Structure 1
Amino acid sequence: MNISFQHIIPTGFNNQSRVWIYQNNRPFTKPEMLHIEEHLGNRILEWEFQGTSLQSHVSILFQQFIIVMVDQPATQNNSSYAGNLIGLIREIEEDCQVTLSNRQMLAFIIQDRIQLMPLTMVNDAIEKDLITSETLYFNNTVLTKEELLNNWIVPLKDSWLSNRMPENVESDDEFIY
């Protein structure tokens, strides 16, 4: 599976531009992708900060991830944009009959495909060697363009899930009672 996506991300955005990632529970169809890009793109173009229009971008990557980027640093107060975006995402969920806001569903590249797994199943998948420390994971917690480009698709060992890997979990055998 080709995981190159960096060339799709616009270069004219500051590296600290705010990013939101929404993962679908299934691949989008082409008509759905066109609808989403148009619907979201038109709506976020209206966003302003202190009277100035914000540069924005919407992409759908790997037919499964909606990437919204706004050229406003993640450190600035963006709660109104986040609330507005949540409303737009709910509209898309309803229009397309999909689930975009389930943060308990994680995405991995397994056997050259994007596969979703509930967080509650990760430990079991590790024990059964379905995923390893080298399995690529979509870290949808990134907040900036820079993080998106460098830390979105990472080996499991380099993610917040690394503490679940056997080599990072202390064994009871190591303790003296």
Structure 2
Amino acid sequence: MFVDIEQLPSAAKVWIYQANKPLDNSTQHYILEKTKAFIESWDSHGRALKGSAAIYYSYFLILAVDEAHAGVSGCSIDKSVHFIKELGQELNIDFFDRTRQAFIQNGDIIVENFKNLKTHINVGMIKRDTLTFDNTVSNLEEFYSSWQVPASQSWLAKYFA
């Protein structure tokens, strides 16, 4: 069952998929429609899951599920990963490239390859207070409070020592 993300409890499980390129409005609309249809049929051992999806900053597809309604299982998680992979293949979007980190600079999203991060930090392109994203947050409470953090409070902190 699909609901608006704001209707899910703060403990709702979250998965964040970062696209390898910005998603234009029509692509965002298509992705959300397909994801809504997926969530409407998503289940865990025969029990309908209550979930939602949203796109933030034209790069991030957020998938969330209320485990108090029905708990997710390994099989239901596999179904969602398979769905996201198929959607990416259909649209030529890589939602699984873990070699790139996104930042907010001057109101824009900048996505950098990991191999360039230390250089960008050393020359001041990425500063301690540059906002970055922790795509490993696990529930909506963490998503709202800790998804966007200054680089110095992320895994990049070691480069600012």
Q: Normalising by the residue count of structure 1, what TM-score does the alignment of the two structures yield?
A: 0.81
Alignment of 1:130-149 (within 5 A): 130-149=125-144
Alignment of 1:26-175 (within 5 A): 26-49=21-44, 51-72=46-67, 78-165=73-160, 168=161
Q: 1:153-175: per-residue Cα shift (whole Å, max 9, x none)? A: 1111111221221xx2xxxxxxx
Deviation at 1:28, TM superposition (A): 0.9
Q: Distance in 1 between matches of 2:34 and 2:51?
A: 13
Instruction: Tell me the SS of whatever aligns to 2:67.
Output: strand
- Given the alignment of the two structures, is residue 22 of structure 1 paired with residue 17 of structure 2, yes or no? yes
Aligned to 1:172: none
Instruction: Tell me the SS of whatever aligns to 1:45.
Output: helix
Q: 1:63-106: per-residue Cα shift (whole Å, max 9, x none)? A: 11101001116xx6632222112211111111211111101111
Q: Identity of counterpart residues, as a percentage?
A: 26
Q: CA RMSD in A?
A: 1.8
Q: Normalising by the residue count of structure 2, what TM-score does the alignment of the two structures yield?
A: 0.88
Q: Distance in 2 between matches of 1:19 and 1:158?
A: 21
Q: Distance in 1 between matches of 2:46 and 2:106?
A: 48
Gaps of 5+ in 2: none
Deviation at 1:51, TM superposition (A): 4.4
Q: Distance in 1 between matches of 2:43 and 2:21?
A: 32
Instruction: Tell me the SS of whatever aligns to 1:66.
Output: strand
Q: Distance in 2 between matches of 1:144 and 1:16?
A: 5
Amino acid at match of 1:130: M
Amino acid at match of 1:33: Q
Instruction: Tell me the SS of whatever aligns to 1:67.
Output: strand
Segments ≥4 residues shifted beyond 3 Å: 49-52
Q: 1:115-153: per-residue Cα shift (whole Å, max 9, x none)? A: 000112111111111101100001111111111000111
Q: How many residues matched?
A: 156
Amino acid at match of 2:123: K
